[in-house]
Structure 1
Amino acid sequence: MSMTTFNLPDLGEGLTEAVLLSWLVAEGDTIAVDQPIAEVETAKSAIEVPSPYAGVVQTLHGEVGETLEVDKPLITVAAGNDGAGSPAGEDAPGALSYREEERAGTAVPEENQSQGSGNVLIGYGTSESANGRRRRRKRQVPASAAQAAPAKTLLATPGAPAQAPRVSSPLVRKLAREQGVEISSLTGTGPSGLIMRSDVLAAVGGAEGTQPAGTASSAADTDSVTGLAIREQTPVTGIRKAIATKLSQSRREIPEATVWQDADVTQLLDMRAQLKGSGQEAPSVLAFLSRFVIAGLQKHPELNARIDSTEGGETITQFEGVNLGFAAQTPKGLMVPVLRHAEQYSARALHAEIRRLAEAGRAGSLSGKELTGGTFTVNNYGVFGSDGATPIINHPEAAILGIGRIMDRPWAVNGELAVRKVTTLTLAFDHRVCDGGAAGGFLNYVATCMENPATALADL
């Protein structure tokens, strides 16, 4: 019997650590290739780590809540002489590196199906075809292999394996275990019956805020500085740590300036009401704002840029095309999903993509690619009841535009006072990439489009 230690794999996107959310197996359990062994949270998302080895679990390296480093031991497996402890495909002729797959769920090439497990993680998985092209196809599993090992969709729980219900994220399974809910008994309310976090909370009669956010302290725990009892302490890890790091970096490195302008959006809201009244889908205010922002960036490309630091100094890099990010509040904190080549989308298409990405963010299913690569960000903090704000630039971008809530306000129309729907647009920009003239010109253009949307859309 040989011992094999599996290290935490390369999680991609430059990530070097992950927080251990939960173990899905215990020491002494017999596991199969591709069986999920742990749930970890990176700065991007929560994911399951599958085992490339089969055998008996000897040692679990790490405690729940601990931060684990990439390429450090995760689990030790004891394998018999039948080779069950070899990682799938590692010794097979022609098999490729585990780090050559970049997206979960990529199909295994036909010529290598007997060599790879087919279950992949970002930066870790089975082989791909020699020409680098991936083909989407159903994975063919031999009957003998299916009998010998549980499939990827089986829950790693003691006793007879059962078909795992479809859930929105590993955190939903974790919540169900914590609350003592049998997830297979739930009926999902998400798309195609997907089980959501709210379904688990509804089963225990809880509310959205019942899940513990950190480690609760007893009344006996007292803060030495204030003398007050400590209600809760939450380690800054995972996604929350990534948010804090990026915002701090933005404040440290970017000499930002802020300009703002009020805009009468009465016509925009009237146009949306007319679309709804005619039975058509009406893009959201954020979608219209995004469409006008993209047009504004084409007129003022200085803001669709970033500062690159090299040994020779700093360089301003401007881009052809816009990767538009938008701030989205999720149960895990603030995220900025990115819509790549947003200039190719109409207002309706932007509305659909923004909604899709926001739902994926709340479900915890955004990929690393969908959270990186932005060149400009929009932020609708008006949905939280804020009249205005000074948004922090999403480093390393050069600017961010925020919109406050829309209110009835007195407004001069053709020399007479009227009650109009008014909002405040705020632009924070990196003063290194442009001066106030370009920033003010961009903001005024966007505000004018919001005030006269029909005229603006006719030119887009």
Structure 2
Amino acid sequence: MAEFRLPDLGEGLTEAEIVRWLVSVGDTVVVDQPVVELETAKAVVEVPVPYAGTVTTLNGEVGEVIPVGSILLAVTEPATSGSGNVLIGYGTSEAGPRRRRRPVAATVPAPPSVPAPPSVPAPPSVPAPPSVPAPPSSPEQVVTVVSPLVRRLARESGLDLGRLSGTGPEGLITRRDVDLAIRSRPPAHHEPGHSAAESLVPARAVDDSAAGVARIPIRGVRKAVADKLSRSRREIPEATVWVDVDATALLDLRAELNSDEHAPKISVLALLARLTILGLRRYPELNARVEGDEIVMGPAVQLGFAAQTDRGLLVPVVADAHTHSLEELCAAFNELTHRARDGRLTTHELTGGTFTINNYGVFGVDGSAAIINHPEVAILGIGRIIDRPWVVNAAVVPRKVTQLTLAFDHRVCDGGTAGGFLRFVADCVESPVRALRHL
């Protein structure tokens, strides 16, 4: 029997959450067959097994967070010693403790027994009534909830879990059940005669929830992005330069390139990426990373680009972008964007960038002071392209105008380098023919 352990995930990652098992006990698996879907702080990945045989055990439940080196599953009668094709490598000598998110029973205490009021003597002419006995205490009610987060949300919202019917397996109360119960409650009203302070203090959590306030845990990819952006703001002395650019000629070039119905379509992002790569060749200080007390520069452009997904902002990296043609860049952007939105990017595809571009113009905005993708040293932002009045040959005419913004690390270069790079890219946008000299 062979035990398959959670592989070394690389990039300092030490644990992963089980999202979905792709096999069951008794299934026959082959080498490199995906067996489990895991979520790390970087991405959701499918992990392949390096053995062939029959699955005898699955160790871990959906939602359970397991450390690197923990046994994921066991395979009996392995037909091969393994492919070695599992993420970075698999297994470590020791495994740390697991953190479980199993459904647990939450005990909701029943209301305390109401003591009987003391007997009140009756007037002399009327016999005194007997004492009223206290009602018997009801037994504690046990409800099943999916996680401590659900219990906390219910508690802070003043919601009685004992009154809910769970929609999960075996009556499990889920986050969705609690959210629906909160939204279905009528808004709270202040009773006459109560002061504002008296009404607000005890009912604050209830009022917040009734108003549609949601509590979303920051974990997984969202936490990794938050940590990186926060670190960027703390450590990088950031400066920003920007310029308005006439992109009419660039759009005309794109229209000409896309006039061939049988050729792949070229995006504006791919055109600007190609010009950016030319600019980085002239100003290599911006194609770098800060690692400790060193500036690490190299000839290869590992080009990151911002991609908005349901799981938050991700920055996939086009490896060796300087070797890609215009069509290849466009295809790489499309493929990585689709995989990012499907949660199928690997850790390798989300790390190692040397420069990032961000097309925030797709959101209908003109400019942005973008945050540098730590530990890189610069990021180029592209605003929306719209008709604006522009002076051409002493005449004011409508042109397609956009704004380019460069945020850069002032430890690595000064305004002369940053301005020179931005002006070079802007000149190429305004006259793409100039770029031919540098291709």
> What is the TM-score when the length of structure 2 is the normalising length?
0.67
**What does 1:17-416 correspond to in 2, within 5 Å?**
17-24=15-22, 29-32=25-28, 38-49=36-47, 54=54, 56-57=56-57, 60-61=59-60, 63-74=61-72, 85=76, 88=78, 114-118=79-83, 120-124=85-89, 217-220=179-182, 224=205, 227-229=208-210, 232-277=214-259, 279=261, 281-309=264-292, 314-416=293-395
Q: Which amino acid aligns with 1:240?
A: R
Identity among equivalent positions (%) equals 51
User: How far is 1:70 from its partner?
Assistant: 1.4
| 1:196-255 per-position Cα deviation (integer Å, ceiling 9, x unaligned) | xxxxxxxxxxxxxxxx99886244488639633355443322222221221122112111
Would the aligned equivalents of 1:8 and 1:73 in 2 still touch at CA under 8 Å?
yes
Would the aligned equivalents of 2:6 and 2:69 in 1 still touch at CA under 8 Å?
yes
Secondary structure at 1:250's aligned position in 2?
A: helix
User: How far is 1:447 from its partner?
Assistant: 0.7
Would the aligned equivalents of 2:364 and 2:384 in 1 still touch at CA under 8 Å?
yes
Most deviating of 216-225 and 404-413: 216-225
Change (3 A) 1:255 1:215: farther
Q: Which amino acid aligns with 1:48?
A: E
Unaligned runs of 5+ in 1: 78-83, 89-113, 127-211
User: How far is 1:427 from its partner?
Assistant: 0.5
Mapped partners of 2:339, 2:360: distance in 1:
19
Mapped partners of 2:84, 2:294: distance in 1:
41
Secondary structure at 1:227's aligned position in 2?
A: helix
Mapped partners of 2:72, 2:348: distance in 1:
25
User: How far is 1:426 from its partner?
Assistant: 0.6
Change (3 A) 1:11 1:54: farther
What's the counterpart of residue 396 of structure 2? 417
User: How far is 1:294 from its partner?
Assistant: 1.0
Q: How many residues align?
A: 332
Q: Which amino acid aligns with 2:242?
A: W
| 1:316-360 per-position Cα deviation (integer Å, ceiling 9, x unaligned) | 222112111111123332221212222222323322222222223
User: How far is 1:408 from its partner?
Assistant: 0.6
Q: Which amino acid aligns with 1:249?
A: R
| 1:154-190 per-position Cα deviation (integer Å, ceiling 9, x unaligned) | xxxxxxxxxxxxxxxxxxxxxxxxxxxxxxxxxxxxx
User: How far is 1:33 from its partner?
Assistant: 5.1
Change (3 A) 1:213 1:42: farther
User: How far is 1:39 from its partner?
Assistant: 2.4
Mapped partners of 1:223, 1:349: distance in 2:
55
Secondary structure at 2:12's aligned position in 1?
A: coil
Mapped partners of 2:175, 2:395: distance in 1:
52
User: How far is 1:306 from its partner?
Assistant: 1.8
Mapped partners of 2:416, 2:47: distance in 1:
51
What's the counterpart of residue 106 of structure 2? none
What's the counterpart of residue 146 of structure 1? none
User: How far is 1:282 from its partner?
Assistant: 5.0
Mapped partners of 1:259, 1:39: distance in 2:
43
Mapped partners of 2:421, 2:340: distance in 1:
29
Would the aligned equivalents of 1:32 and 1:55 in 2 still touch at CA under 8 Å?
yes
| 1:118-172 per-position Cα deviation (integer Å, ceiling 9, x unaligned) | 584213469xxxxxxxxxxxxxxxxxxxxxxxxxxxxxxxxxxxxxxxxxxxxxx
Secondary structure at 1:396's aligned position in 2?
A: coil
| 1:35-63 per-position Cα deviation (integer Å, ceiling 9, x unaligned) | 76542111333233456574643x744x4
User: How far is 1:13 from its partner?
Assistant: 3.8
Change (3 A) 1:231 1:121: farther
> What is the TM-score when the length of structure 1 is the normalising length?
0.64
Change (3 A) 1:48 1:446: closer
Mapped partners of 2:254, 2:424: distance in 1:
20
Mapped partners of 1:370, 1:66: distance in 2:
25
Would the aligned equivalents of 2:355 and 2:377 in 1 still touch at CA under 8 Å?
yes
Would the aligned equivalents of 1:49 and 1:121 in 2 still touch at CA under 8 Å?
yes
Would the aligned equivalents of 2:387 and 2:400 in 1 still touch at CA under 8 Å?
yes
Mapped partners of 1:17, 1:390: distance in 2:
34
Mapped partners of 1:322, 1:290: distance in 2:
11
Would the aligned equivalents of 1:22 and 1:39 in 2 still touch at CA under 8 Å?
yes
Change (3 A) 1:214 1:299: farther
Secondary structure at 2:205's aligned position in 1?
A: coil
Mapped partners of 1:451, 1:358: distance in 2:
27
What's the counterpart of residue 135 of structure 1? none
Mapped partners of 1:439, 1:55: distance in 2:
57
What's the counterpart of residue 137 of structure 2? none
Q: Which amino acid aligns with 2:256?
A: Q
Would the aligned equivalents of 2:45 and 2:346 in 1 still touch at CA under 8 Å?
no
Change (3 A) 1:271 1:36: closer
**What does 1:420-459 correspond to in 2, within 5 Å?**
420-459=399-438
Find the structure with the greater CA-based Rg. Answer: 2
Q: CA RMSD in A?
A: 3.1
Would the aligned equivalents of 1:41 and 1:238 in 2 still touch at CA under 8 Å?
yes
